[in-house]
Structure 1
Amino acid sequence: MKQWKTTAVFLLLACTWAALFWVTGSRTPWQMFSPKDKDAGIVVSLGEMAGRNYDRMGFEGGEILYVPSDGGWLVGTANGELRHISAEGDEKWSHSIGTGLIRSLKLSADGKTVYVGEKSPDGFLYALNVKTGDLLWKFKGYDAIGGEPDIRADPQAIHISTDQNGNIYAAFYRFTVKGDGQRGYVSQVISFTADGKERWRYPAEKPMDAWVNWGEASPDGSRFAFGTANYDKSKIENLEYNRNIYVLDGNTGTLIQGISIPLADHFDSVTMRNAPSYSLDGQYLAAMTSDGRGFLFDRDGRLLWERHLAEAKEINGAWFFAAGRDARFLSDGVLFDTINTFSRDNWQMPSPVIHPSSNSLFRFGLQGDFLWKYTAPGEIEAVDVGKGVAALAVGRNVRNHDYLAHGAEVVRLSDGSLLTRYHTSGPLQNIAVSSDGTLMAGIEVPAVTPEGSLLGAYRLHIWKIEGR
């Protein structure tokens, strides 16, 4: 009798598993005992990271790229590690880059090489084989712009661009402290061939006294443009490199045009972070300024149109605005985005209000026609585009502390409507989407709330986009 009861229990369990398989189609119905969180997706730990103050400006999360050749992801961490992870979350290879953190990633046009920029005492630019992780060549940024380890002014390859001919364009940057005690900037743009030979430098003789945060080549390599982000408001006229956008000949590195953008109302300077960018055909150049304006130029920097997306608002004598950041192209238009609300006079002070245009994505046609606006519940930390969709990494809303805002959101490019979203415990800091718009991956970081609670962890999430 006892043996019969034991057999009956196992038969019942087998029937239950079979029923679950029939209903769900799952080959592992026993997963009912450890249910998967849909919002979490596939989760991969990225190592240890201390929780950051929730209200602090700027989190270092890492970089991420989709790899079309195998459907996987290249992830550069704040711990100086580059990892190639499959679409299923398995590690193909990892490479410890150096002593610093990874600040930039870019694939070659043929997808066989990944270029990696680090922030460290050496500030290396690396070229690695995508399939194996083997080092192909490297360039020491310190040799171009120096460094000051005593004040932790480390060089960094802060942004990398490539063209269809295999050439690389890297912007190297660090800060310094000038004789009068004011913060200063040291930058230089260097172009390389695919095998690491130097093609040109801009400027050729010495680094610039400008903060170069971003630069992009046209696809055919005939043009390269970069923007500046100088915050030394009182002395910008004394800087040698005080233009806002510089357009260079991509083959020689010679200057074609330096563009000075007029000041916006109620602002003392023009700054630029993740811009300018070239269109897919190389005929247009788009830029977004921190004061909330979007611009479209021709390939040589002649202005075609300007749009005010987030004008400053006055409250009791103080001016508040939604800071503009990204400008990126679609095949038939351009996307601009804004982040959190800031005070014009003190970026570090929490704003008592949320600007109506903050944390928003805007789409315009190439003729400047406004098509739609989408507003996220927290800061849009990064934007990537796949077939028919824009993927948004949504981080902190430091004005209302909405911890449920964190996560990934997918917006339809056709009309700006929300397709789906996935919540993460900690702020999502970066994101990448597959070319066909069916998969995406994002980097979550831990944050400490004003109440002392720890939200999230340092990890990668991989999601299959619902509705595609």
Structure 2
Amino acid sequence: MSMAGKQSGTQTGAYVKTTETVLGQTEVYNYQRMGFNKGFVRFSPDSRYLAVGSETGEVLLFNTKGSLVWRKNMGLGKITAVEFSPDGQSILIGENSPQGYLFSLAAKDGRELWRQASVNELGANIKEKTFPGVVAVKTDANGMIYAVAQRYIRQPDGRNEYIGRIYKFTPEGEQVGLFPSDHNLDAWVSWISVDAAGERAYFATANYDIAKYKYDRSIYCLDGRLETVLWSNIVDVAHPYQNVAMRTSPEVSANGRYTAAIASDGRCFLFDGIQGKELWRRSISQPQKIAGVYINATGNYVQMFGEYVVFTTGNTYNRANWQLPTPVESPSSNSLFVFDLQGNLMNNYKFGGMIEQIAAGSRQAALAVGRNVRSKDLSVHGLYIVTIPEAQLVDRVATDGPCIAADISADGKYAAGIEAPIQLDDGRVVGEYKLVLLTRQE
């Protein structure tokens, strides 16, 4: 590390650590837990402010000098989504709670502008703690809001029940679209993407079992009013899996021409966003049978970067039982892969830990790198910034605990991440729940 890097608190010194702010106390998890702490960081469109959604149910707004502008406790709900409106005047907050609200807050002072509940469509069971939650929020260039709400129920006999709905709201909070119009989705849907013009919206499914579902296609394209399925595509199942799961897909290009998706089995796809035709597929993590069990690095995230598509993989898991250790680690695990729109692999970068979030800047990506559940190597944790399509490291700030959230401003001048604590196998707790803000050196 250079002296500049040491003085800035980062690896290369390209960015300087502006602030670290403890966000509160959270439950401490270990390596055996598949789920983990959550957090959200989003820069405003003009790159002047940073909104933070914490595990403790608070929303905080900072300026990019690191000063707190306001903070607001959202109540008993757990924050599940944070997004700025395109004009930067409001912040959209999704939560999981008995009401399953989508909130709109004034960016200026945190004042609540409106709220819409999803419980009327999805229901709730307070005794069994199965609550609805707004799990994904996107906007188009006109400020129209598209939100996915879902409720998941694990039945006593082991069956999985999914209840979901997709909403469209005006910037003022008026509901102007609902899909399906008269019944709930019976599939796991936790992601949505919309083109800039608001002409098409896209979602995918990710069911855990092989039961019969009405919504049994892998990916769907709706018209912008959420009234009609324009096209859908079913992806064949990859051996040895029993279904196709796309949890964080798809992503559409701003002009709507291309739609990219990734399946948890390690296959990635590019579709014609208008017609739905599959243009190409690539496997970035092939399932392999080793020592009698199938293992693979999970397909994780996808991002569109102009003329390029970025896919990421996660930890290596044992297909038979994810809690059991794997004999080896997949060579494709915890990595980023850059393809051009023709399907050519341009570059890749291996991070060594789970990519918990990825965010796109103009020609850079910010990545939150957390746990490696097999090596348990603490040294890989951190907020990374890499160039696209070169996949070269620009800078990194190390975190003691896993980094679980990341964003980069539109102009690339600022980056932010959230660190979470983790309990090691010997009982020690490393790290704390805090925000890290970086500023690019001029």
Q: What TM-score, normalized by structure 2, do the two folds share?
A: 0.94
RMSD between superposed Cα atoms in Å = 1.7
User: 1-side partners of 2:226 and 2:240: how far apart?
Assistant: 39
Deviation at 1:179, TM superposition (A): 7.6
Q: 1:148–1:176: 8 Å Cα contact kept in structure 2? A: no
Kindly indicate whether structure 1 or structure 2 has the higher relative contact order, using CA contacts under 8 Å at least 6 residues apart.
2
User: 2-side partners of 1:410 and 1:445: how far apart?
Assistant: 19
Deviation at 1:253, TM superposition (A): 2.6
- Which of 199, 203, 211 is the matching residue for 1:222? 199
The 5 A counterparts of 1:285-304 are: 285-300=259-274, 301-304=276-279
Range with greater deviation from structure 2 (318-327 or 297-306): 297-306
Deviation at 1:70, TM superposition (A): 5.4
The reply to whether residue 397 of structure 1 matches residue 354 of structure 2 is: no
The reply to whether residue 447 of structure 1 matches residue 422 of structure 2 is: yes
- Which residue number corresponds to residue 346 of structure 1? 321
User: 2-side partners of 1:274 and 1:360: how far apart?
Assistant: 16
CA 1:414–1:244: 2 relative to 1, 3 Å: closer
CA 1:146–1:395: 2 relative to 1, 3 Å: same
The 5 A counterparts of 1:251-270 are: 251-270=225-244
Deviation at 1:103, TM superposition (A): 0.6
Instruction: Please identify the structure whose Cα radius of gyration is greater.
Output: 1
User: 1-side partners of 2:65 and 2:25: how far apart?
Assistant: 22
- Which residue number corresponds to residue 306 of structure 1? 281
- Which residue number corresponds to residue 12 of structure 1? none
Structure 2: give runs of 5+ residues left out of the alignment.
12-16
Q: 2:365–2:385: 8 Å Cα contact kept in structure 1? A: yes
User: 2-side partners of 1:244 and 1:460: how far apart?
Assistant: 36
Q: 2:201–2:226: 8 Å Cα contact kept in structure 1? A: no
Secondary structure in 2 aligned to 1:121? coil
Q: 2:209–2:242: 8 Å Cα contact kept in structure 1? A: no
Secondary structure in 1 aligned to 2:190? strand
Range with greater deviation from structure 2 (89-98 or 173-182): 173-182
Deviation at 1:376, TM superposition (A): 0.2
- Which residue number corresponds to residue 249 of structure 2? 275
CA 1:230–1:194: 2 relative to 1, 3 Å: same
The 5 A counterparts of 1:69-80 are: 69=46, 71-80=48-57
Deviation at 1:248, TM superposition (A): 0.5
The reply to whether residue 62 of structure 1 matches residue 39 of structure 2 is: yes
Deviation at 1:180, TM superposition (A): 4.4
- Which residue number corresponds to residue 93 of structure 2? 116
Deviation at 1:426, TM superposition (A): 0.6
Paired letter, 2:384: E
Range with greater deviation from structure 2 (334-343 or 254-263): 254-263
The 5 A counterparts of 1:32-431 are: 37-38=9-10, 41-69=18-46, 71-178=48-155, 180-233=157-210, 235=211, 238-300=212-274, 301-431=276-406
User: 1-side partners of 2:43 and 2:258: how far apart?
Assistant: 25
Q: 2:381–2:398: 8 Å Cα contact kept in structure 1? A: yes
CA deviation profile, 1:114-161 (whole Å, cap 9, x unmatched) = 111001111100011112211111001111211112221111000011
CA deviation profile, 1:14-54 (whole Å, cap 9, x unmatched) = xxxxxxxxxx9xxxxxxxxxx98557651011011121113
Deviation at 1:387, TM superposition (A): 2.9
Paired letter, 1:84: L
- Which residue number corresponds to residue 14 of structure 2? none
- Which residue number corresponds to residue 5 of structure 1? none
Secondary structure in 2 aligned to 1:111? coil
Deviation at 1:326, TM superposition (A): 1.0
Deviation at 1:374, TM superposition (A): 0.6
Q: What TM-score, normalized by structure 1, do the two folds share?
A: 0.89
User: 1-side partners of 2:226 and 2:190: how far apart?
Assistant: 21
Secondary structure in 2 aligned to 1:219? coil
- Which residue number corresponds to residue 435 of structure 1? 410
CA 1:378–1:194: 2 relative to 1, 3 Å: same
* Larger fraction in helix: 1
Deviation at 1:102, TM superposition (A): 0.8
Paired letter, 2:349: Y
Q: 1:52–1:448: 8 Å Cα contact kept in structure 2? A: yes
Paired letter, 2:99: D
CA deviation profile, 1:57-106 (whole Å, cap 9, x unmatched) = 12122111011335221000111111001222211011211212111011
Deviation at 1:252, TM superposition (A): 4.1
What is the total number of aligned residue pairs between the two structures? 431
Q: 1:78–1:100: 8 Å Cα contact kept in structure 2? A: no
Paired letter, 1:162: T
Secondary structure in 1 aligned to 2:222? strand
Q: 2:100–2:134: 8 Å Cα contact kept in structure 1? A: yes
CA 1:447–1:145: 2 relative to 1, 3 Å: same
Deviation at 1:358, TM superposition (A): 0.6
Q: 1:426–1:445: 8 Å Cα contact kept in structure 2? A: yes
Structure 1: give runs of 5+ residues left out of the alignment.
1-23, 25-34
Q: 2:308–2:389: 8 Å Cα contact kept in structure 1? A: no
